[in-house]
Amino acid sequence: MAVAKWWWVIAVVALAAGLAPEARADAACDKRVGVMRKRLAAVAGDSRGEMMMAIRGLEVPRVKKPRGLDLRAPVLAVWKDAMTLNGSPVTSYVEIIEGASGRVLYLQADGALPVAGVAKLLKDLAAKRQLRLVVSGPPPAPQLPFPDSPAWAVEELEVARAATDDRARLLANAITKAITGCAPLIEAFGQVASADPGSKADLLNRKVPAAIATCNCQGADVGAVELLVAAVVARTSSLGWLALPASALARAKGKTISDLAVKLK
Give the mean pLDDT of the chain: 83
Lowest mean per-residue pLDDT among 13-17, 205-209, 252-256: 13-17
Confidence check: pLDDT of 113 > 50: yes
| Inter-residue contact 196 to 121 (CB < 8 Å) | no
- What does the alpha-carbon distance between residue 172 and residue 169 come to, in Å, rounded to a whole number? 5
Confidence check: pLDDT of 23 > 60: no
Confidence check: pLDDT of 258 > 50: yes
Q: Calculate mean pLDDT across residues 220-247.
A: 88
Q: Calculate mean pLDDT across residues 98-107.
A: 92
Hey, where are the domains in the chain? 2-49+147-233, 57-140+250-263
Q: How confident is the model at residue 49 (pLDDT cuts 50, 70, 90)?
A: low
Confidence check: pLDDT of 100 > 50: yes
Cβ-in-10-Å burial (0-12, 13-18, 19+) of 7 comes to buried
Q: Calculate mean pLDDT across residues 65-81.
A: 82
Q: What percent of the chain has pLDDT over 70?
A: 81
Q: Calculate mean pLDDT across residues 155-176.
A: 88
Q: How confident is the model at residue 221 (pLDDT cuts 50, 70, 90)?
A: very high
Lowest mean per-residue pLDDT among 77-86, 144-153, 178-187, 232-241: 232-241
pLDDT of residue 53: 55
Confidence check: pLDDT of 207 > 50: yes
Confidence check: pLDDT of 8 > 60: no
Q: Calculate mean pLDDT across residues 33-53.
A: 74
Residues facing residue 84 across a β-bridge: 77, 89
pLDDT of residue 43: 84
pLDDT of residue 139: 66
The residues, any chain, with a CB within 8 Å of residue 252's CB and separated by 6 or more, are 115, 119, 259, 260, 263
pLDDT of residue 48: 53
| Inter-residue contact 173 to 157 (CB < 8 Å) | no
Confidence check: pLDDT of 101 > 80: yes
- What does the alpha-carbon distance between residue 67 and residue 110 come to, in Å, rounded to a whole number? 18
pLDDT of residue 12: 46
